[in-house]
Amino acid sequence: MSTNTKRFKRQKDVRTGPPDAAGASIQVADRTPESAFTFEDRIPRGNVATVPLFELEKVGVTYSGNPAARDVDLVVPQHQITAFIGPSGCGKSTLLRCLNRMNDLIPGAQIQGKVTFAGQDLYDPTIDPVDVRRRIGMVFQKPNPFPKSIRENITFGMKVNGIKPTDELVEQALRAAAIWDEVKDRLDADAYSLSGGQQQRLCIARALAVNPDVLLMDEPCSALDPIATLAIEDLMVKLVDQYTIVIVTHNMQQAARVSDQTAFFTVDGMDQGLRYGTLVECAETKKIFTQPEDQRTEDYVTGRFG
Amino acid sequence: MTLTQETLGARPSVAPFAKKRHRPGDVVFHAVVLGAVIVAISSLIWVMWSIVKVGVPLIDWDFLAVNNGARPKTAGFTSALRGSLVVLLITMLVALPLGFGAAIYLEKFAVARQQVAARRAVLLRDRLANERGLARVGTSVRLIWARLVGPLNRFVDINISNLAAVPSVIYGLLGLAVFVTFAGLSESLLAGGLTLAMLVLPIIIISSREALKAVPSSIEQGALALGSTPWQAVRGQVVPAAIPGMLTGSILAMSRAIGESAPLIVVGGVVFSTHIPSVNPVNAGSEALLAMPLQIFFWAARPQESFRDLAAAGIVVLMIVLLLMNSVAIFLRNRYSKRW
């Protein structure tokens, strides 16, 4: 029960005030990433109402005719963190890129099925994919700051979206991504002079600066050390009150620590000589990790997966 | 098997390493490649020295900016230097925007354009089945155009590399036919500059495309994920990241242009004019085509020793200009060397 009260207290901590409030400093002291995982390591969050934001119906993706993902039915609720987990090649990233039409940019990519965002068909031919990408931001696996100054990294997105880039807005974005204190004295320094973890938080700040509804994160911590990883995890929990977050991760502890809902994908179609991803199970994170319905999920989350 | 104290102790004794030995093949190879370097460098130095020795004493302010006569005493490089300057300026003004534009289109937009055209072709084909009369003709024309975009793009793509390998004399003939005769520009600095622009255009396109290709796609994707249009992503992030490379390639192409004599001879360059050409490129259409390589070529072909000495001086000036341009290119390359 003691954990419950602690959770409640932390929950209050986390949920008071907007993410750009002064509490940008990050607490990582009481969690050790290297130690064995228990479900109680979870970053606590209260129960949130489930309002569907993305609804996927029989969604599949093919690259030049080869299926990469098939028949995915999934609901991503608003103001929650949804984690996509699964082995390599199971279509997690592919599916994530369907959610903001980044797959449009890959020659030969084709999408089947229906993706709706707040009730609108995302692939309706009358919808502008540029606006889709503005409303649904993305953070990539490898930090990819623009080869310009820190300030220009933030202002580029504002400029292309017609937001006047004031110093206040720049500061607000950097504070929201919990990097303000580290860069406030060198906003005109080259973004490449930052460390990997700082670069990734700069990329998050850049995405937040255009005020999106959703943040898609494609393995955002895979290139980072455990400290930077924890910093970004804490940040996600802070941000989810204002945004909806979908994260692809190879790190099951990470999914367990931060997500409210987890979708487990696996590779299928081997018997037909194909290799595509399918959704096995999607449920509340605690359920996926403690009492999954499917044997494959249990094998994967307990580390018995082949 | 794990390595424990016992298993280590039980290992057989390790065989000693082979002794270093003399390998005659290595020595011969070393000597051959070193010899190649020495022959190349020393012949270059000898040529340079023989030119510099004769040429440098003749270079003074009068040679560069005043003299313009027909006799060895009064002959100078003034007209040629000014002519080359104007020709280079015209080449730059024409070839850089065209080359950069073509490179950006081919590297960043052609594929997307092809995809759009392919999708449109499918739509048009379906529509064609339900149409009659004049509408059918219109749709057919659009369908043919949509189907042509892909092959056209590929055709352009392949032929730009081919054009870069065409000998420069051929470009001279092109310039003579198109600019001098067809466009009626006569044998002017303008015609020469435009001819050289055609000559360096494929080189600029190819090197700019390489520079654009070297920018990681993650930068472009990051820009697009912020809700920028493809054009904003290319203009705002990809081109600024590639511009040092694009400029380096272009400067090297320009130094090729400034040293070219063959196309200018074909276009109808002159080697002597009592009139000193204006350096204002607006007047380039009415100035006779004079350029440094032409002047050197003419002097070197004269029987008099004194003219040959002048040729050496001209060569030194041309070489200094070339070295300056190349050092700007090297400076740009080092200053903005790749950061990703």
End-to-end CA distance of chain B: 43
Instruction: Give me the total of CB pairs closer than 8 Å, taking one residue from chain A and one from chain B.
Output: 73
Q: What is the ipTM of this complex?
A: 0.80
In chain A, count H helices and then E strands. Answer: 11, 10
Take residue B162 and report the two structure tokens written for it. 């081919």
End-to-end CA distance of chain A: 36
Residue B8: pLDDT band (50, 70, 90) is low
- Residue A255: CA count within 13 A, CB half-sphere: 28
Answer yes or no: is pLDDT of B106 > 50: yes
Which residues of B fall within a CB distance of 8 Å from A210?
226-227
For residues B103 and B181, give the distance between their C-alpha atoms in angstroms, rounded to a whole number.
Answer: 30
> Which residue, B218, B205, B245, is CA-closest to B106?
B205
> pLDDT 10s digit of each residue in chain A, 306 long?
343 333 333 333 333 333 443 444 444 434 444 444 555 566 666 556 678 889 999 999 998 888 899 889 999 998 899 999 988 888 889 999 999 999 888 878 888 999 999 888 999 888 898 999 999 999 999 999 999 999 999 999 999 998 899 999 999 999 888 889 999 999 999 999 999 889 999 999 999 999 899 999 999 988 788 888 888 898 898 888 888 999 999 888 888 889 999 999 998 888 888 888 999 999 988 888 888 898 888 888 887 764
Given this model, what pLDDT does residue A16 score?
36
Residues belonging to chain A with any Cβ–Cβ distance to chain B shorter than 8 Å = 100, 102, 105, 107, 130-131, 133-135, 137-138, 140, 142, 144-148, 156-157, 159-161, 190, 192, 203, 206-207, 210
Answer yes or no: is pLDDT of B148 > 80: yes
- Phi, psi torsion values for A110, nearest 5 degrees: -135, 140
CB contact under 8 A, A142 and B232: no
Given this model, what pLDDT does residue B38 score?
97
Residues 6+ apart with CB under 8 A from A130: B227, B228, B229
For residues B276 and B80, give the distance between their C-alpha atoms in angstroms, rounded to a whole number.
Answer: 9
Please tell me if residue B219 touches chain A, with a CB cutoff of 8 Å. yes
Which residues of A fall within a CB distance of 8 Å from B216?
144
For residues A191 and A183, give the distance between their C-alpha atoms in angstroms, rounded to a whole number.
Answer: 10
DSSP letter, residue B261? -
For residues A172 and A165, give the distance between their C-alpha atoms in angstroms, rounded to a whole number.
Answer: 11
Residue A159 Cα, gap to closest chain B Cα (Å): 9
Please tell me if residue B97 touches chain A, with a CB cutoff of 8 Å. no
CB contact under 8 A, A138 and B219: no
Please tell me if residue B216 touches chain A, with a CB cutoff of 8 Å. yes
Please tell me if residue B218 touches chain A, with a CB cutoff of 8 Å. yes
Choose among A107, A133, A147: nearest Cβ to B227. A133
Which residues of A fall within a CB distance of 8 Å from B336?
none
Residues 6+ apart with CB under 8 A from A170: A151, A154, A155, A187, A209
Which residues of A fall within a CB distance of 8 Å from B232?
160
Helix %, strand %, coil % of chain B (to 5) = 75, 0, 20
Residue B136 Cα, gap to closest chain A Cα (Å): 24
The DSSP annotation for B170-228 comes to HHHHHHIIIIIIIS---SBHHHHHHHHHHHHHHHHHHHHHHHHHHS-HHHHHHHHHTT-
Which residues of B fall within a CB distance of 8 Å from A102?
221, 224-225
Answer yes or no: is pLDDT of B124 > 90: no
Whose structure tokens read 């990408």? Answer: A133
For residues A260 and A237, give the distance between their C-alpha atoms in angstroms, rounded to a whole number.
Answer: 10
For residues B106 and B201, give the distance between their C-alpha atoms in angstroms, rounded to a whole number.
Answer: 14
> Which residue, B155, B154, B142, B195, is CA-closest to B172?
B195
- Indicate the pairing of strand A214-218 with strand A244-248: parallel
Q: Which residues lie across from A116 on neighbouring strands?
A: A55, A121
Given this model, what pLDDT does residue B7 score?
58
Contact B175, B194 (CB under 8 A): yes
- Residue A1: CA count within 13 A, CB half-sphere: 0
Which residues of B fall within a CB distance of 8 Å from A107?
111, 115
* Average pLDDT, rounded, for chain B: 87
Residue B104 Cα, gap to closest chain A Cα (Å): 17
Render pLDDT for B227-259 as a digit per residue (tens, 0 to 9).
Answer: 999 999 999 999 999 998 999 999 999 999 998
> Which residue, A204, A114, A163, is CA-closest to B225?
A204
Q: What is the mean pLDDT of residues B138-151?
A: 85
Which residues of B fall within a CB distance of 8 Å from A207?
225-226
CB contact under 8 A, A140 and B340: no
- The count of residues in chain A is 306
CB contact under 8 A, B228 and A140: no
Contact A197, A232 (CB under 8 A): yes
> Which residue, A160, A143, A152, is CA-closest to A201?
A143
- Residue A126, classified by CB atoms within 10 Å of its CB into exposed (0-12), middle (13-18) or buried (19+), is exposed
Q: Is A294 left (phi over 0), alpha (psi -120 to 50) or beta?
A: beta
Q: What percent of chain B has pLDDT over 70?
A: 95
For residues A136 and A218, give the distance between their C-alpha atoms in angstroms, rounded to a whole number.
Answer: 13
Please tell me if residue B327 touches chain A, with a CB cutoff of 8 Å. no
Render pLDDT for B279-294 as a digit per residue (tens, 0 to 9).
Answer: 787 877 788 888 899 9
Q: What is the pTM of this model?
A: 0.80
For residues A87 and A265, give the distance between their C-alpha atoms in angstroms, rounded to a whole number.
Answer: 7
The DSSP annotation for B19-68 comes to PP---HHHHHHHHHHHHHHHHHHHHHHHHHHHHHHHHGGG-SHHHHHT--
- Phi, psi torsion values for B4, nearest 5 degrees: -110, 175
CA A305 to chain CA mean position, Å: 24
For residues B86 and A161, give the distance between their C-alpha atoms in angstroms, rounded to a whole number.
Answer: 43
SS3 string of A204-257?
HHHHHHCCCCEEEEECCCCCCCHHHHHHHHHHHHHHCCCCEEEEECCCHHHHHH
CB contact under 8 A, A147 and B221: no
Which residues of A fall within a CB distance of 8 Å from B227?
130-131, 133-135, 137, 157, 160-161, 210
Which residues of A fall within a CB distance of 8 Å from B226?
133-134, 137, 156-157, 160-161, 206-207, 210
Q: Which residues lie across from B290 on neighbouring strands?
A: none
Which residues of B fall within a CB distance of 8 Å from A105?
221, 224
CB contact under 8 A, A160 and B232: yes
Render pLDDT for B31-49 as a digit per residue (tens, 0 to 9).
Answer: 999 999 999 999 999 999 9
- Mutation target to probe the A interface, by most A beta carbons within 10 A, among B116, B122, B226 is B226
For B115, nearest residue in chain A (alpha carbons): A107
Torsion of CA B297, B301, B304, B308, to 10 degrees: 40
